[in-house]
Amino acid sequence: MFFVNTLDTAGLGNRSYLAGGERAAVAVDPPRDIDRVIAAAAVRGVRIALVVETHLHNDYVSGGLELARTTGARYLVPAAAQVSFARTPVADGDTARVDEGITLRAMATPGHTPHHTSYVLEEDGRAVAAFTGGSLLIGGVGRPDLVEPRLTEQLARAQHASVRLLADTLDDEVAVLPTHGFGSFCSAGRGAGATTTTVGAERGSNEALVKDVDTFVADLLAGLDDIPAYYAHMGPANAAGPSPIDLTPPVPADAERVAQRLAAGEWVVDLRSRVAFAEGHVAGSFNFEGTGAPATYLAWLIPWGRPVTLLASTAEEIADAQRELARVGIDRPVATATGTPESWVRTPDELRSFARSDFAGLAAARRHGGAPVILDVRRNSERAGGAIPGSVHIPLHQLPGRLGEIPPGVVWVHCAGGMRAAIGASLLDAAGREVVAVDDGFEAARAAGLTAAVA
């Protein structure tokens, strides 16, 4: 009897899988922190016999090479992927034994990347699940624009054909198990909001299966948003062969060391909640909530290679963030500190705070206080659905380089829910601006009559 275990990496919107039988298993698209995969195999009491990649990932550092080295498993990588390490190249139609009666069959499904390969899990010759990576997602597909701009339309057309190949080849009851599509910026299209699906469920809902190729490609390309800046570093790292993850505790920092890090122009990142940060924080530090998606947004905004110091209430919060950041190649914070802001500064005047409000408060400020500066840090696709007239629009990932475009005055920063507004407010606060972080859902702005459609 086969099994499939799902390993969620929620901060990146990705999934990895461990699948197999009674004695052996295959790890599919494993995360860099391979201890999670090894632990899952131990719970199952199985040996990891195979490690497979559906493609060279652009959004995270793979743990595949190190997992194969650690377990002695065969490492299967699409043959057309250009890599600098030894592996077993996989071509369309190749099969590999996982366990007694359980095999893996490769299917070339280009689109997300030119070499993208899906893997069909078969039990006694019958397909039971398809690991579709960045090809067939739940209600959509993986985006085709991460490799080379000149290939984007060609890959979009290949994506349409690949999804249809999967649907034409596999029975309705076959489970579809994608790597992307759970909040990942690697996914494209509207998605379905579901967390599980089958080939049959996708037939009537997936954009690639309900639209002709020209309509699908036009809609897909029109809906593509900005690519996270750190993606440019993930593909080369995975092609070169990532180094093993190092999660040993970083050097502890006292108040003097924190001040030195700030004076050197390095990034000091406060992982506490946005509420706690607004109430009091080290002047010059930035707020990336540890309970949000610190890896995604920190990696997107920080100048690549800039040293990072982490501040948090507890050592456990530091460890969690260190693990998340390592998944996207931000290794070894130069220092960390735990406790309270008062213990991270030399004198009380090195502490700052700023106000928080909601959209009702913003509406009141407009009525009674003139024309406050309103900064919208949502992405272009979000703003297209409605915006506050007169607001300044700078997507969060562009904000560090565009601070000079924000008019003088108190700046009310908003996003769609509050987390990105807090990050943006912390960037402005560190630059010496007076800010108010709008910690509210954007539907409240509509309810307050603040929004209008964007042409």
pTM: 0.94
- The residue among 390, 381, 445 whose CA lies nearest residue 414 is 445
For residue 431, the SS3 value is: coil
pLDDT averaged over every residue in the chain? 95
* Helical (H) or strand (E) element with 260: helix 255-263
On the CB side of 225, CA atoms within 13 Å amount to 17
Query: Does residue 191 register a pLDDT over 90?
Result: no
The CATH 3.40.250.10 portion of the chain extends over 255-352, 355-447
What would the pLDDT profile of 82-107 be if each residue is shown by its tens digit?
999 999 999 999 999 999 999 999 99
293: left (phi over 0), alpha (psi -120 to 50) or beta: beta
pLDDT (0 to 100) of residue 371? 81
For residue 43, the SS3 value is: helix
Measured CA to CA, the distance from residue 388 to residue 391 in angstroms comes to 6
Give, in order, the Cα–Cα distances in Å from 63 to each of 16, 243, 332, 431. 11, 9, 17, 38
pLDDT (0 to 100) of residue 230? 95
Axis-axis angle for helices 315-326, 294-301 (nearest 10): 60
Question: Do the Cβ atoms of 412 and 428 come closer than 8 Å?
Answer: no
The three-state DSSP-derived secondary structure of 115-132 is CCEEEEEEECCEEEEEEE
Measured CA to CA, the distance from residue 126 to residue 50 in angstroms comes to 20
pLDDT average, residue stretch 117-126:
98
Query: Does residue 246 register a pLDDT over 80?
Result: yes
pLDDT average, residue stretch 135-157:
96
Query: Does residue 455 register a pLDDT over 60?
Result: no
- The residue among 252, 227, 255 whose CA lies nearest residue 345 is 255
380 phi and psi, to 5 degrees?
-55, -40
What would the pLDDT profile of 313-341 be if each residue is shown by its tens digit?
999 999 999 999 999 999 999 999 999 99
pLDDT (0 to 100) of residue 245? 96
Q: Using pLDDT thresholds of 50, 70 and 90, give the confidence band for residue 190.
A: low
Domain 3-240, CATH 3.60.15.10 — does that match?
yes
The CATH 3.60.15.10 portion of the chain extends over 3-240
Domain 355-447, CATH 3.10.129.10 — does that match?
no
Q: Which CATH class is domain 255-352?
A: alpha beta
How would DSSP label each residue in 4-19? EEEEEEGGGTEEEEEE
Q: Using pLDDT thresholds of 50, 70 and 90, give the confidence band for residue 175.
A: very high
Query: Does residue 192 register a pLDDT over 80?
Result: no
For residue 401, the SS3 value is: helix
Query: Does residue 189 register a pLDDT over 70?
Result: no
